[in-house]
Amino acid sequence: MNKKRIVSGMRPTGKLHLGHFHGVLSSWLELQDDHECFFFSADWHALTTEYANPGFVRESIDDLFLDWLSVGIDPEKCVMFRQSAILEHAELHLLLSMLTPVPWLERNPTYKDQLEELKEKELNTYGFLGYPILQAADIVIYKANAVPIGLDQLPHLELTREIARRFNFLYKKEVFPEPVAMLTRTSRLLGTDGRKMSKSYGNAIYLSDSRDEVKQKLSTMFTDPQRLRRTDPGDPDVCAIFTMHKLYSPLNEVEEIDRECRKAGIGCVDCKKRLIVRLNDALEPIREKRAGYAADQKRVKQIVSDATEKARGIAKKTMEEVREAVGI
């Protein structure tokens, strides 16, 4: 048993959609077989932007665990817990904040982008600037070897490595290994309006959508915008429905649609009908699993509380080493 330990978190800010599934979650599913996995809901990180809406964050936490479990994140293999249940993350965050130069935080490209993007929120806060320090604490407190993350999170991991190095150097003790990034797949799934699938665009298909919701959403989904009449030839390469067929339909059907669409041999209505069946079939086992867990909340609570104990044990041990290294 010499599995590499990986740690990753997700902010609880609403239910997960197909884009999450084909990006992060499918990577987690692959990793869980041969890694020691720690997955947590980063509720404090969610508060850095949602501090005025803690209710929304609170409600999203249980949904997040249900989403994970329903796609097959296996509680026998993965430790799943919430960040805020383990106060040691906060203590380590504090200690790491002492030794992190502010310019490291200010030059972080993700920070600058988000300030720009979320203009409607007041994000000139201390907590938001310190976001990567909390993330560093989340990771090094478990002495993770690797961190599965999306491209946008790479600067945060680089900061984690720099902070870990600085700690080890200052206190002359190799308390923290420097974790490496493991890039998760990026999903290029398009939403119902043809833009990238995203909660904020309101164009997402959720893992928890019912059969009818899926049918409804796909029926009104954008296709090739140039294809106005049934007799117009279409271009599958620019069609959001086609990007999904490639994920959910067998190859021979995908090829057939590709061919027929280009010569107006198939209409969008029929093409969508086929996808509705395929996608609903693919989501059915996920729905069943979700229903099973949703009906047995006690079991979910038990899974999370066992995991929390396990994570806490490790975090406490690391903090003993940390306090000894710092000497305070």
Asked if residue 48 binds ligand TRP (CB under 6 A), the reply is no
Q: Using alpha carbons, select from 261, 311, 259 the residue that is nearest to residue 144.
A: 311
Q: Using alpha carbons, select from 133, 146, 126 the residue that is nearest to residue 35.
A: 146
Site for ligand SF4 in 194-223 (CB under 6 A): 223
Site string for ligand TRP, 155-194 (x = CB under 6 A): -x--------------------------------------
Which residue number, 92 or 149, has a Cβ lying nearer to ligand TRP?
Answer: 149
Residue from 31, 80, 86, 149 in contact with ligand TRP (CB under 6 A): 149
CA dist list (Å): 266 to 230, 238, 250: 8, 16, 17
Which residue number, 83 or 223, has a Cβ lying nearer to ligand TRP?
Answer: 83
Q: How far apart are CA 124 and CA 128, in angstroms?
A: 7
Q: How far apart are CA 150 and CA 67, in angstroms?
A: 19
- Determine contact, residues 141/312, Cβ cutoff 8 Å: no
* Tokens found for residue 273: 């009908």
Asked if residue 163 binds ligand SF4 (CB under 6 A), the reply is no
List the strands of the sheet with 78-82, edge to edge.
Answer: 78-82, 35-41, 4-10, 146-149, 180-183
Phi first, then psi: what are they for 220, rounded to 5°? -105, 10
Asked if residue 241 binds ligand SF4 (CB under 6 A), the reply is yes
Residue from 224, 248, 307, 311 in contact with ligand SF4 (CB under 6 A): 224
Distance, CA of 12 to chain centre: 9
Q: How far apart are CA 147 and CA 167, in angstroms?
A: 19
CB of 131 to ligand TRP, least distance (A): 7
**Which ranges of 171-239 does DSSP label H, i.e. alpha helix?**
211-219
Site string for ligand SF4, 250-289 (x = CB under 6 A): -------x---x----x-x--xx-----------------
Q: Which of helix, strand or coil describes residue 153?
A: helix
Asked if residue 138 binds ligand TRP (CB under 6 A), the reply is yes
Q: Which does 135 bind (CB under 5 to 8 A by kind): ligand TRP, ligand SF4, none?
A: ligand TRP
* Tokens found for residue 308: 């929390």
Q: Which does 11 bind (CB under 5 to 8 A by kind): ligand SF4, ligand TRP, none?
A: ligand TRP
Q: How far apart are CA 253 and CA 245, in angstroms?
A: 8
Residue from 227, 276, 293, 315 in contact with ligand SF4 (CB under 6 A): 227
CB of 227 to ligand SF4, least distance (A): 5
Which residue number, 22 or 45, has a Cβ lying nearer to ligand TRP?
Answer: 45
The contact set with ligand SF4 (CB under 6 A) reads: 223-224, 227, 234, 236, 239, 241-242, 257, 261, 266, 268, 271-272
The contact set with ligand TRP (CB under 6 A) reads: 7-11, 42, 45, 135, 138-139, 147, 149, 153, 156
